[in-house]
Structure 1
């Protein structure tokens, strides 16, 4: 039965990530690599899915679910407590890249810390069939409900590699045959010029405002800019990533 009286639903571990919203929770439930520890759900939302076997389910009302997630988070009547996914090694990800004809892009983020941006980039990476994303382990957000919500299910689909040293990782990426293109508004070349018409591309993007660090730029093969109007200084990093991924994907369509 749904709990009444405005009490927080019992159980759960506040140290584990909590996902909310249908896309994020359904994708987590569908991912065999993800362990879902507990579900809270309204009776109305429960009528729309087949509840998984072996996962404890607590029925709760909308107000109670709102107490499990950040303020004003659109939980859509369902919240899940999950274990983080197991770490992925960069060498293992690069080993999964196919032959020379495999032109799927790779996304590298240099100190992009906003979980909304990382989630949106994961969504774009899934949409354009990216190999995965690479971030630093200490300067990127952890898995969270905010990332999962912004990713709209893509957190379960796109491999996310965390590395200690981004410069060293960019070296490994080059050895795997990727042409590393760093996006910066100060570049002379446009993105279309830098990516050419074929080959593997690793798109490197820095945080908003600060951009890529100097050492990261030094480990790129080319620097490029998006040809945006002079009326605006720059784009949100997630918007820039989406445009850049489209540009790489559209080479095959030309």
Structure 2
């Protein structure tokens, strides 16, 4: 299913505040008991013409179990086409491709790290993937307001398109012989491909990546959480480019 827009429903203080800063929020519903604590945010909202309603409990309106006493409605963010994303991304490109991740909390956590590590954008599939909804935006804590996001219908086709645009693709795979710390591609235009929780990279995505890399681990564990593996890869990219020391 195509993403007509993302981030229309929000909850949690950081997600609502970031969307308010971006000028997207149209309505806020806040619990009576949180008004004092959130007074600064609510003043900003009212000054921007946002409708603010108060009720006893916002949980019936929320998608997650801990909305922090505040939910909001917002104008959706329209996703970019892949070429639009590449044209807007500083050179050399640094992207992250989601290969059908299904946990929106992982999606949000990866987005939060991507923003911190200097990644230029995210490439997400509109099918068989976690929705970029309230849960992902809450976990991202504002990052999804600050990252370029492209929607694609096929991860394998997107990898081929990236190759035609001279962007290398590096997939994370537990059985790869080359390690994350040995790749020479992170100083080039590159997209890191993150596989689904449990399953890892899909067969077609793995076959089409320019290089597969693994993350060295002590004996015993079979794999890392997708968001942890992605964080290690993104910060190794940032280190290779001299963005962090």
TM over 0.5: yes
How far has the Cα of 1:243 moved from its partner?
A: 0.4
Work out whether 1:202 is the aligned partner of 2:202.
no
Partner of 1:154: 143
Distance 1:140 1:183 in 2: 18
Partner of 2:58: 65
SS of match in other structure, 1:192 = coil
How far has the Cα of 1:200 moved from its partner?
A: 1.8
How far has the Cα of 1:196 moved from its partner?
A: 4.5
Distance 1:139 1:31 in 2: 29
Distance 1:196 1:27 in 2: 33
Partner of 1:24: 15
How far has the Cα of 1:46 moved from its partner?
A: 4.2
How far has the Cα of 1:131 moved from its partner?
A: 1.4
1:104–1:200 Cα contact (<8 Å) kept: yes
Pairing partner for 2:45 from 43, 51, 61: 51
1:90–1:161 Cα contact (<8 Å) kept: yes
How far has the Cα of 1:199 moved from its partner?
A: 1.2
The structure having more radius of gyration, on CA atoms, is 1
1:120–1:151 Cα contact (<8 Å) kept: yes
Distance 1:169 1:104 in 2: 15
Partner of 1:7: none
How far has the Cα of 1:191 moved from its partner?
A: 1.1
Partner of 1:251: 240
Pairing partner for 1:184 from 173, 180, 189: 173
Distance 2:167 2:45 in 1: 42
Work out whether 1:89 is the aligned partner of 2:81.
yes
SS of match in other structure, 2:182 = helix
Kindly report the root-mean-square deviation, in angstroms, between the aligned alpha carbons of the 2 structures. 1.9
Distance 1:195 1:140 in 2: 30
Q: Mind listing any 5+ residue stretches in structure 2 that lack a counterpart?
A: 1-6
SS of match in other structure, 1:229 = coil
How far has the Cα of 1:60 moved from its partner?
A: 2.2
Distance 2:110 2:13 in 1: 19
Equivalent residues, number: 231
Distance 1:66 1:97 in 2: 38
How far has the Cα of 1:198 moved from its partner?
A: 2.2
How far has the Cα of 1:48 moved from its partner?
A: 2.4
1:194–1:223 Cα contact (<8 Å) kept: no
Partner of 1:241: 230
Q: Mind listing any 5+ residue stretches in structure 1 that lack a counterpart?
A: 1-15
Q: What are the superposed Cα offsets for residues 60-93 of structure 1, whole Å, 9 maximum, x if unpaired? A: 23xx2122214631x3332111232112111101
Distance 1:240 1:44 in 2: 39
Distance 1:205 1:46 in 2: 36
